Structure 1
Amino acid sequence: MTDVEWIAIDWGTSNLRVWGMNANGRAVREATSTNGMNLLARDQFEDALMALVSTWLNGPTIAIACGMVGARQGWMEAPYSTVPCEPLGEGIVKVPTQDARLQMHILSGIKQTSPADVMRGEETQIAGFLALNKDWDGVICLPGTHTKWVHVSAGEVVSFQTLMTGELFGLISEQSVLAHSVTSEGWSDAAFEEGLSTAMSRPEALAARLFNIRASQLLEDTAQDTGRARLSGLLIGAELAATKPYWLGQNVAIVGSAPLASHYTTALRGQGVPVTETDPVAMTVAGLTAGYKKLKGIT
């Protein structure tokens, strides 16, 4: 016998993370694997999940998942809800399973038709933040490979914007000429702040300022950790310039992992923006718990 009442699942492109939740809403089991969505065919998802949770199941057990598991190429596509909408929208898709002990469900993502945009997984973190911060209005920033800026009001997602800043950082630092001038670790606060200021004041000059990183390393032997921080500052600065209508004059909550979330906090506070940092894992579990309550009709 176990004390697991239901199972919370965060299933992304690269990783799978699960929590066994007890009747008091506390995680009493936890497991992870690298069986992300991109490694699995549709008929392999159940086996990948059961490899982690089968010993937790006493009988029919509800499982709630968020993330890319609900994408078109995932276990089963969970349709998008359209903004404006509550973070968890209207759709919780039930997935047929071979093992009768597993009652599998996937939370829907959110879409915006104009300008076209989508999110899948982040809506659950937003739901978790709102569950823990009642009556909160403002903007939630979710830094990552594809950073989301989300306007929230009266418990609904009103609009959002996705920026590929994290992916651009990875591509430029690893596959461009700047790979020779940027280290994979190390940091310079001064270089970050200089890049941030440069890009925010003149975002149209970003391409030229990027090559300055390479030129400075060749001519002045600039340290690679300085190049890394300056590249991050330039890209995040360009992002803040593009998203100014979202954060200017707003309360902003950051839902992201360190150290990236801290860089966004530093950048925003430098603009006089009040920022609240939160734990992304806690927000995910709180959001999945909100999904479980919605499925069970618990208020």
Structure 2
Amino acid sequence: MSPANDWVAADWIAVDWGTSNLRVWAMDADDRPLAETSSHAGMSSLTRDGFEPALLDLVVGWLDLTRVTDVVACGMVGARQGWAEAEYATVPGPPRGPQAFTRPRVRDGGIAVHILPGMRQDMPPDVMRGEETQIAGLLAREPGFDGVVCLPGTHTKWAHVSAGEVVSFVTFMTGELFALLSSASVLRHTVAADGWSDEDFAVAVEETLVRPERASARMFGLRAEALLAELSPERSRARLSGYLIGMELAGARPYWLGRDIVMIGARRMTEAYVAALRLGGLAPRIHDATEMTLAGLAAAHRQLLVERQHQ
């Protein structure tokens, strides 16, 4: 793949636009990435008028001035506070849904931007933006997949997928709780910013799966043990993660119990979930988040081309 500053002629451009970061890829006609780059111009840092300039700053060198280049984008770019609000597809249903692409107005005539919808679940209420594209990527690779997809992150999603549709999903704030507890609670004096203990993590997960209602007490116990028995900050970090992931697994048991499990996410966080699930004798499979995102965006671009043929 070419470095970001090399000139390439993109057949189309794939975009993953989150709250904090913007990632873009120049794609060829066979949906292979030719180049990639990123910036910190996430949705939360932009006004509505700032999205187009932020995108062009990264992709202008990939545009063929003799034609219009398609840009297919997923994530928070389609949120109410984003470039243009993309209506949610409804669960149960396919991850891209029947909705048309949302096409924000652009000043530059060299690009045509197409924003993918997120997904909504009315009962119990839940939403996702971006993860549905990774699920679509998995289905593009494994059309017959029937099981549960876990997407670890700041807000981890568990989605039941069957017959090409998202049947239901649930979101856990595990990553955000870990960040808050480790940096803005009494545990900030106890939990290291890095370091790990596999043994402490495993013990914490197993304890919490058995008695999840005791997790909050065990978390304060980290502070007490650090004061009274010099529990190391690295061991405290592993245990806090184990307590929180254990709580999540206890709550998500109806999703993962007895089902084929696929994990899609960043390596470090995904490995922690895999280790926790293996304690219960489960064997989750792992897919790279970027690969699934690109596969989902490519499937959406193919859908766009088909729609054009029928217009």
Structure 1 residue 3 displacement after superposition: 3.2
Check whether the contact 1:128–1:288 (CA below 8 A) recurs between aligned residues.
Answer: yes
The AA in structure 2 aligned to 1:168 is L
Pick from 255, 258, 274: which aligns with 1:246? Answer: 255
Deviates more, 1:9-18 or 1:205-214: 205-214
Instruction: Say which SS state the counterpart of residue 135 (structure 1) adopts.
Output: coil
The residue aligned with 1:193 is 202
**Does residue 37 of structure 1 match 2:43?**
yes
CA distance in 1, matches of 2:90, 2:283: 29
Pick from 11, 29, 36: which aligns with 2:17? Answer: 11
For normalisation by structure 2, the TM-score amounts to: 0.94
The AA in structure 1 aligned to 2:86 is A
Percent of aligned pairs with the same residue?
A: 52
What are the equivalent positions in structure 2 for 1:5-84 lying under 5 Å apart?
Answer: 5-58=11-64, 59-84=67-92
CA distance in 1, matches of 2:222, 2:139: 40
Pick from 92, 96, 101: which aligns with 2:110? Answer: 101
Structure 1 residue 206 displacement after superposition: 1.4
The residue aligned with 1:274 is 283
For normalisation by structure 1, the TM-score amounts to: 0.98
The residue aligned with 2:218 is 209
Pick from 141, 161, 178: which aligns with 2:150? Answer: 141
The AA in structure 2 aligned to 1:67 is G
Check whether the contact 2:147–2:260 (CA below 8 A) recurs between aligned residues.
Answer: yes
Unpaired runs of 5+ residues, structure 2, are 1-6
CA distance in 2, matches of 1:40, 1:253: 34
Pick from 222, 227, 237: which aligns with 1:218? Answer: 227
What are the equivalent positions in structure 2 for 1:250-265 lying under 5 Å apart?
Answer: 250-265=259-274
Check whether the contact 1:8–1:64 (CA below 8 A) recurs between aligned residues.
Answer: yes
CA distance in 2, matches of 1:222, 1:17: 40
CA distance in 2, matches of 1:213, 1:51: 47
CA distance in 1, matches of 2:31, 2:128: 26
> May I ask how many residue pairs the two structures share in their alignment?
299
Check whether the contact 1:247–1:273 (CA below 8 A) recurs between aligned residues.
Answer: no
The AA in structure 1 aligned to 2:76 is M
Structure 1 residue 2 displacement after superposition: 4.0
CA distance in 2, matches of 1:184, 1:150: 30
CA distance in 1, matches of 2:90, 2:226: 47
The residue aligned with 2:4 is none
Instruction: Say which SS state the counterpart of residue 94 (structure 1) adopts.
Output: coil
Instruction: Say which SS state the counterpart of residue 8 (structure 1) adopts.
Output: strand
The residue aligned with 2:130 is 121
Unpaired runs of 5+ residues, structure 1, are none
CA distance in 2, matches of 1:188, 1:274: 21
CA distance in 2, matches of 1:35, 1:116: 29
CA distance in 1, matches of 2:94, 2:186: 44
CA distance in 1, matches of 2:105, 2:282: 46
- Deviation per CA, 1:30-81, whole angstroms, max 9, x where unpaired? 1100000000000010000000011111120000000000000000000001
Aligned CA RMSD, in angstroms, stands at: 1.2
**Does residue 89 of structure 1 match 2:100?**
no
Check whether the contact 1:254–1:278 (CA below 8 A) recurs between aligned residues.
Answer: yes
